[in-house]
Structures are given as structure tokens and as C-alpha cells.
Amino acid sequence: MANETPDYAEFMNKLVALCKRRGIIFQSSEIYGGFNGFWDYGPNGAPFRKSIERAWWKYMVEDRDNVVGLDSSIICHPKVWKASGHVDQFSDQMTDCKDCKKRWRVDQLPVPGECPACGSHNLTPARDFNLMMRTYVGPVFDEDHIAYLRAETCQPIFVDFNTIRVSTRQKLPFGIAQTGKAFRNEINPRNFTFRSREFMQMEMEFFCDDADSMQWFDFWMQERWNFYTKILRIPESKLRWHWHEKLAHYAKKAVDIEFEFPFGWDEIEGIHHRGTWDMSQHAKFSGEEAACKVFNQDTKEAYYPTVVETSCGLDRISLMMLCNAYEEDTAATKKADKDEDIRVVMHFPALVAPVQAAVLPLSKKLEAPTREIQKLLRAADIRTEYDDTGSIGKRYRRQDEIGTPFDVTYDFDSENDHAVTVRNRDTMAQERVPVDQLVDWLTKAIRG
């Protein structure tokens, strides 16, 4: 990861301030001083993140015959995490600075053996630090009642494989997808939401024959690239592949998709060949070998399916969308002694914008007919916000800051010509649209 340059810090400070000011993302438990690594998505952040999740679900599950969905519990049998290796091996090496008392991940020290905060070389020897979040299930808080908040959403997919396969009559090759919370006790949460302790994952495990697995790996690489470039409209120039050189012994290939964040290139998604590792581990630990295998009618033998995984973090994707959307340009102003002012505008694709169309009466007297317009848009599943506070210019600025692609203004002429003015966030062009064509006009424009 790149060093924190002043440019980077200034950009991130502006983005974090905007996110708080406009109710997109802010620290959890702020009135208690915040809680490091935990974030709340506010009234504008929740619809934004949910719409990215919905776009992923539609693209990965609903639009395909060979991928089905799961919504599993967050806490599952503690043995699941023994089998997956998380209880014994899911750890980072950490070191403490004896002088300033800060704790660091050894692999993230810019200069080995030196504290990045105070420059001291007085560091403790590296120690393993398990990232699993623990809790207790049942009435007694002792070792026998320890359970874990899941560290990744994919393990329940492996555990439920057979039940899902039988209930959906799926045959290999097919995938199971799930979105949901994951928890990791990260030593050093940082870069806003990039590395959090509670975050959302969106994962798909594709079960196939080993002989076809490399073809499926290539297929999913292309599909995932298309998701970012075609659905979320991230420019190709800001994405790149990062191949893993060190592979787990069971894996044939592993690649990450990286985005160019203001703080440097970093991972948003991993596409991993997991071999038969997960299924054979769960067979071993559960004793239910048949539930972890499929039957080959030709050879009359049961075998472990090979798994190709696509795994991404919704919060990292949201952060990528925020970084990519942020722009400062200039717009006309009515402020005294100025013709132009800086405008902050978020160029979100309409699909994920928290508000897709703001409905603005030119005067508070026009509330009733403007509310009628809002009803029409809501019935067409367009996310709207009604705003009649302040000058129309100020209202445009507020909508630009949350990335609203279209502002619909009802004015005094609307009473007579039955039309409204639609302003485009990106071009600031204005167009008069008849009210009876507005839903079609906006629906088309939102689909882009």
C-alpha cells in the first residue's frame, strides 16, 4: 500500500467529512468516542450499500440458472471453524511498540523492526494473534461454550452443500452464493471502511469437476470483471489483476481484483481455486462424508467436488464507489461577490445512488402537486426525496453531494403545461418533461 501522502490524506479527509455530513457513513458509537473498526451506514449510506448488494445478487444469482442463494446463520457449530482451519491458523503476526504502546501487523511495517508511529526499534517479538471473534452460546461462559462469529460467509455454503443440492435438484457444475456479515478482530483497522472488524461479504462457491475447474476459473474472472466495469461502471484503467505467487497447497490458481484507491492499489475481490480442501475437511470433521461428495453415475463412485470461489467485500466496493464518484467542479452561484463556486458532486451510477430523483417544489406552496409527482415515482420503484428547504440552488448542491442523478422541479408553469424541469447532475443541463412521460423518461435514464 502506498504511503500516506498529503494529497491522499486530504482527499480521504474530505470524503470522510462528506460521508458524515450527508449521512452516508459515520463511526459507530460516536457519542462514546467511536469504536475502532466499526461503521454505521446512515439514511443515504444504507440504500447505497443495499443497492450494490442487490445488483450483485441479481447479477450472480437471479440472472443465472446455475447459481442458487443462501442466507445462513452468522453463528454456526464451532467445529465448522475447526474444520476450516480458522481456529488454529487464522491469525496475523503482531508486534507491540514498547515506547508508544501502538500495536502493528508485522507484515505491514513499512520498515521492518521499526514502529511507524514513533520510529522506535523497541518492539516486542512477533506473536500470533487470532482474528476470530468469540462469543459464548448457552448459560455458562466457559471454554466448552465458546462459539465464533463467522470470519467468512462461505463456510456455511460448504456445510449446507448437500441439503441445497438435493432441494434444488442442481447437478455439477453449479454455484451457491451468499451475502452477509463477517467479523474479524483486525489488529489495525484503517483507511476508513477498507479494513473493518465487522463487514459484509458477497461470496459465491462454484462446485465443479476438477477437470473443468480451470475453465470455470477463467469464466468467473471474466464475469467478475464485467460486474465492476459494466454494472458498477468502474473505469477499466482503475482496476487490475494481482496474481498470487504463493498458493495454498490445495489451490491451482488465485487472483485478486484491485482498485486504485487514493491510498494505493488494493484488493476488492479474490477469485480462488480452493480445490477439494473445504469439502474434504468438513467430511473429516463432521464424519458425514456423503454430504460432502457427489456421485458419478458412470464410475459409480462418490467424489469431492472442486470449488472455484469469487469473494468480495461490500464495504470495500462501497468505498471504491465513493472514491471513484467524488469530484469537485464549479457551478454558478448566487452568492454575493461570486459568479461560480466549488461544487462537490458524487457521480454515482443511478443504479446505486441513494436518491435517484429528488422532487423539488419551486415554492412551498406547490407541495401538494409535487407530492403527487413523488407518489408516481415511488410507485415505479424510483428512490425519491422531497425537499423544499432553502433556495433551489442550495437544494441542487445538497443533492449533488449525495449523488442524486436527477432533480425534478415542479414550478408555477407546471400547473398549466403539465410538465416539470429535470436537471441532470453530471451535465447540469435542464429539460422540460411532460408529467405523463416522466416515469418512462426517468426509468430509461436510470437504466442508462
Positions that interact with ligand GAP (CB under 6 A): 152, 154, 184, 186, 195-196, 199, 201, 203, 267-270, 311-313, 315-316
Instruction: Please report how close the Cβ of residue 187 comes to ligand GAP at its closest, in angstroms.
Output: 10
Instruction: Please report how close the Cβ of residue 191 comes to ligand GAP at its closest, in angstroms.
Output: 10
DSSP class of residue 435 equals H
267 or 289: CB nearest ligand GAP: 267
269 or 407: CB nearest ligand GAP: 269
Instruction: Report helix, strand or coil for 47.
Output: helix
184 or 383: CB nearest ligand GAP: 184
Instruction: Please report how close the Cβ of residue 29 comes to ligand GAP at its closest, in angstroms.
Output: 18
Are 339 and 333 within 8 A, CB to CB?
yes
Instruction: Please report how close the Cβ of residue 272 comes to ligand GAP at its closest, in angstroms.
Output: 7
Burial of 318 (0-12, 13-18, 19+ CB in 10 A): buried
The dihedral region occupied by 382, where left means phi > 0, alpha psi between -120 and 50, and beta the remainder, is: beta
First-to-last CA distance in the chain? 35
Name, in order, each residue with C-beta under 8 angstroms of 90's C-beta and a sequence gap of 6 or more. 130, 131, 132, 151
Instruction: Please report how close the Cβ of residue 133 comes to ligand GAP at its closest, in angstroms.
Output: 11
158 or 304: CB nearest ligand GAP: 158
Nearest alpha-carbon partner for 448 in 421, 430, 425, 419: 425
Cis, peptide link before residue 156, omega less than 30° from 0: no
128 or 367: CB nearest ligand GAP: 128
Instruction: Please report how close the Cβ of residue 207 comes to ligand GAP at its closest, in angstroms.
Output: 15
152 or 401: CB nearest ligand GAP: 152
Instruction: Please report how close the Cβ of residue 438 comes to ligand GAP at its closest, in angstroms.
Output: 38
92 or 387: CB nearest ligand GAP: 92
Buried-state track 112-147, b at ≥16 Cβ within 10 A, e below 16:
eebbeeeeeeebeeeeebbebbeeeeeeeeeeeebb
Are 205 and 173 within 8 A, CB to CB?
no
Nearest alpha-carbon partner for 314 in 35, 30, 37, 48: 48
